[in-house]
Amino acid sequence: MDFGPFLLLATMEGLVMAAVLALTASGLSLVFGVMRVVNVAHGEFFMLGAVLAWFVAEAAPGPPWLGFMAALAVAPLLVASVAALADTLILRRLNYEPEATIVATIGLLYILQQAALTFYGPDARPVVAPFDWRIQLPWFGWSGYKLFVIAAACAILTGLWLLLSRTRIGLVMRATQYDSETARAFGIDVDRVYAGVFALGAALAAVAAVLIVPIQQAHYLMGGDPLLLAFIVVIIGGLGSLRGTLVAALLIGLSDGIIGVFFSPTVAKIIATLFVAMVLILRPQGLFGRRPA
């Protein structure tokens, strides 16, 4: 294949990855930014979203697009309620102490993974894509659904940005992030904000998973990679910075796509990890993070 089309394919594949990564990582970043909780179970919320999407799509009657839309609506809500429950039952009781929450979310990781293994089983199962449209370029064909993934991720991220910057909910979240003691003094129910943020973070991972599950397949071990990549993105972008997360997701997604196509995916992973190390040494707060006072 010539260089031009090759680069085009690499960029398109990279954009799909960046889109999914941006959604997943923004959830992780949001939870850390507001709650200062490092959520190790984030990848399992991703997996749970995919698995629930399969259940919903199976149960929904009618054509595949209907099942998919139902999954897109229902699965993130279910995952969000699991996350809110986990926050109320576990994290709040630990007073959100950093070390304790890391251990607790590791436990949550195993509980969710084993629950999926028990109730969903060890098989990889596909959700049928909502539409079957193929783009035929002169050099190669590409799945039209992948374009939809990119567009949907952009729309959801725009919505998230509007929510955080233009609404009262966003204001309350930002106030809690800035200084939770003062926010409490001004009558903000910080506990509810925390539960809501944790649920929102998990729901973002779940949405990403529902979008990806017609391309990949739902499997109980699928949470590992997204967690690792989301951490890489969040560290590079700066923990808690949404803008940084988006830029880093684009960077990692595109570099993985392009380096993965031209050299090998292993090289792409090595470079991403190297980049994380450089950021940690030279700019520990991340590209867009604020240095703690």
Q: Find the helix or strand (DSSP H, E) in which 134 lies.
A: strand 134-136
Candidate list 143, 150, 161, 255; residue touching another protein; CB under 8 A: 143
Count of Cβ atoms closer than 10 Å to residue 255 Cβ: 17
Q: How far is the CB of 174 from another protein (least distance, A)?
A: 35
Q: How far is the CB of 2 from another protein (least distance, A)?
A: 10
Report if residue 263 touches another protein, rule: CB under 8 A: no
Which CB atom, from 107 or from 265, has the smaller least distance to another protein?
Answer: 265
Candidate list 140, 158, 243, 267; residue touching another protein; CB under 8 A: 140
Report if residue 142 touches another protein, rule: CB under 8 A: yes
Q: How far is the CB of 179 from another protein (least distance, A)?
A: 41
Residue written as token pair 């071990």? 221
Q: How many residues bind another protein (CB under 8 A)?
A: 35
Find the part of the chain contacting another protein (CB under 8 A) among 24-32, 97-105, 169-177, 253-261. 253-261
Map residues 120-139 to x or -, x wherever contact with another protein holds by CB under 8 A.
-xxxx-x-xx--x-x-x---
Map residues 160-189 to x or -, x wherever contact with another protein holds by CB under 8 A.
------------------------------
CA distance 291 to 256: 28
| Distance between start and end Cα atoms, the chain | 52
**Which residues neighbour 160 within 8 Å (Cβ) at sequence distance 6 or greater?**
26, 204, 242
**Which residues neighbour 113 within 8 Å (Cβ) at sequence distance 6 or greater?**
44, 47, 220, 221, 223
Report if residue 286 touches another protein, rule: CB under 8 A: no
Candidate list 216, 228, 254, 287; residue touching another protein; CB under 8 A: 216
Report if residue 9 touches another protein, rule: CB under 8 A: yes
CA distance 124 to 94: 35
Count of Cβ atoms closer than 10 Å to residue 180 Cβ: 18
The most distant pair of C-alpha atoms in the chain lies apart, rounded to whole Å, by 63
Report if residue 217 touches another protein, rule: CB under 8 A: yes
DSSP state of 218: B
Which CB atom, from 33 or from 67, has the smaller least distance to another protein?
Answer: 67
Q: How far is the CB of 197 from another protein (least distance, A)?
A: 29
CA distance 133 to 64: 13
Which CB atom, from 145 or from 194, has the smaller least distance to another protein?
Answer: 145
Residue ranges of alpha helices (H) inside the chain are 3-35, 42-59, 64-86, 98-119, 144-166, 168-178, 180-185, 190-212, 224-237, 242-262, 265-282
**Ranges within 221-240 binding another protein (CB under 8 A):** 221-222, 225
CA dihedral of residues 174, 179, 182, 183 (deg, nearest 10): 30
Binding site for another protein (CB under 8 A): 1, 5-6, 9-10, 13, 17, 64, 117, 121-124, 126, 128-129, 132, 134, 136, 140-143, 215-217, 219, 221-222, 225, 257, 260-261, 265-266
